Structure 1
């Protein structure tokens, strides 16, 4: 008996499962029919009677009540075509009345999102609709929602627009599994990875988009859009020679297709490449064309990238006034776009929280109170953020003005140093050279011992003063404000003075410090400390070798000047004369200064100074 009951139960479950599978497959097929009717007749309100007859026939043949509901829905939808704002009035009705028909809800909410996003540009309502679709997808899945991959693609594009790139990638990949045409999702995912600066991942998906366009024989502009996006990646990586042909292909196809927004997206980096190549006429012409395309496409968010390139162009042609004007315009464009998208992101979170509470609690009054509370908090946060933003903006303008004044002062000082260096070299330097030459010429002639002594002193003093003047000229010359020039002078000075003293000289310097920029006063004090240390080693150490090491460690320049001479008792010598000049200069430089020495074991001078 038990065996008979078990057999009957298994048989019942088998037929029930078969019936369910058949019903599910039929529902999916019917859903695809309605998808096709909706997509192909969105704007054909004149065919409403023909559509009603077709849907009534499908109901008679399938007994699927969704065809009748869909017919009623289409009649309501066409009424909204007279006034696009009316589509929003149907949202609550569809949400409440068509809960049993998630496909129909998804179709309608997607159209609400598209109408608000592209047509009305009410981003709050658009994102509200996308959140409803996201909830429908999570509750029903691809086995019930017949355009599952398409809706994933639309949500992914919305998140990309609102700059939530990780969520955009998530939905794009979620839809890829079920899509027949994957081009749009590959392309959007690639753009998201570009925005996240993950260029290798971006190029992978963009190349997939190119392959998909070829495989499905899509219009040429689909190929060139993805190629242009790959060109953008090469452009961001600084590989202009690879970026240029791809961007140019995209640009020309966009012009041909009269997609002015797409054309502007390619022409902006192309203009930058022309500027880098110093093709200023081409850059100017293309930038003017770009501004026209942005105006035509109404994609004013592209001004955020356009203005910096325009400013760079004027800076290159030395028109600094216009360059500064476009820098300010760039700041305004960035501030506008950033505030818009941040507001939308806050609104998205608010809408999502509200919808979750409605779904879970089903208490309209409580949900309404929660919404009001969140709105007041949001308004308070927005007011605070606006106040902070205004303060930061005013502070930025103040710092900008202060920096301009400082730059002007630095330019004035730089010109003064250049003139001073040139004048001293041309006037004083040449005069001292003449004195030295004249005295040398007189010494070559017969002179009395007293005259010869005086002439020798004149020559030596002239040469000494000339050497000091050369040091001053070197110290004030702005072209010497780089570490490699200081290193070169230190090497030359040490080699020349030790050679005359018959002392071996070793100079070791790491390459990493060569391109560091340095200040005039710091450079002069460091060289004089080095010069004094070398002089002391030659004069007192009786060394056979002097070794100099320069290293860059923990943000500081580390200099060691060591000899293998007789050394000295540091306590006695330092207390005797204190090496006051070296210590005073080290204090001015905020540098560490130390002398290490022992009798008959040489001397080491250590200087550690932050780079200035």
Structure 2
């Protein structure tokens, strides 16, 4: 059961709660509009569908009366409600409409808040690059107009990105800066939000008592505000801390309350997290039947909530929005006379002249190409034959490698499960079966599923790029180390180029890192692990270090098969492998490979 991995992915969707802006309390004359006030009340109660309905009705009236400023506020508010329902496409459409109106009115205050909301939407979709771009735009505007509240919201949301990148000191620093501003402005709802987010950081730092303290404070503020979304989030967070303390009855009680409230308000992101938490709670309690039942519900809801198609649609909408914005700018320049008819006509004549020149050049080129084509065609036939033979040989080699991987990873795992199951069956008949034997079968099955998943990922040619490999390494390290009782520092360079690499390089690098990380946890007896990945000057460098018991590399005497396997994999693809270790001084593994070797498949 991949409960821990899935839980880790989804905790970031809401536990670090985004500071999105409703901006009903605008300085404009619409600030007392009763529909906007009522929609904000419904939003805080988690009645997002009702809020959207009354805002849509009010929007029709605003369009008839040409209340442009009010329309901007309404579109932004509708987008925020759709975001809470997990409907990211509808949310982005409304945000972009609001941003377009604010831009046309030169309403920088509203535009800054909308940019922040779009950033939060992308952050929910794990598109941190786009999220930071919009946060930076919002921050520039906030500093220009000296909007402290908006600046604090950006601190909060930036903190969430650092939290998801496991940079907890930076996350805590941003949350504290946001909290100070909210306390100064006496913004109760934002204070509750900051307290919740700070509780998360202390939870991941292992300070559970402090985490519970912050969550409890946040829960009290949320209940005073009647903010059902934040109440449900805090209940789930408290339940997760009790689970980490292995107080599973308390964890189940809080997470069950969170799920019921989240379902009542249709908060899909919290529903996903609560289902995952309940599956973990029952698994920890040893009730695997209920754990499986909750996990099946979690998988179904999660697949509906986060999917690649939504991400593609978001990207398409963003591209369309930018194109429309550029077209409006061109139209504006035309209206102001900055592009005049005489220049357009002169450009048209110049283009026509260039077209004639290109035509005559093209005729000459076609004749030249025709003369050379016959010679080229003969050579091409020979090359095609050679290429076909090379492809055939490569395919045979690839089939052999896939068969070997399937036999080594999957075949051995299935054989082990078969033997363990047969033993458990015999002991069950003798009434001597122990729960640890079932747990061992479950563990081996989980490892087998993970190995199959990694094998499928490696075999997919679309994943054979350096940025995809880096993302997979980051995801694997976070998931693997989350369940281990060690302090982890993951420092992976954010900007990695989309460089096409060979599948052999992709496979060997990933498997070597897995084995090195496994050695740190299983054999080094360490309490701290660090992983660093950089790509500079066309050189990829990966460093895995621990503070464990180490070993004397000169006295392995044939026992270091794992070390030799890792070195073989890296040297086989033209890289450099080095393992530095001393007794009681930890171990450091260093892998280096140039861009040229990354893109070439070397013979094994």
User: Same-fold call, TM > 0.5?
Assistant: no
TM-score range, shorter chain: 0.3 to 0.5
TM-score, length-scaled by structure 1: 0.44
TM-score, length-scaled by structure 2: 0.45
User: Which structure carries more relative contact order (alpha carbon 8 Å, separation 6+)?
Assistant: 2
Q: Which one has the largest radius of gyration?
A: 1
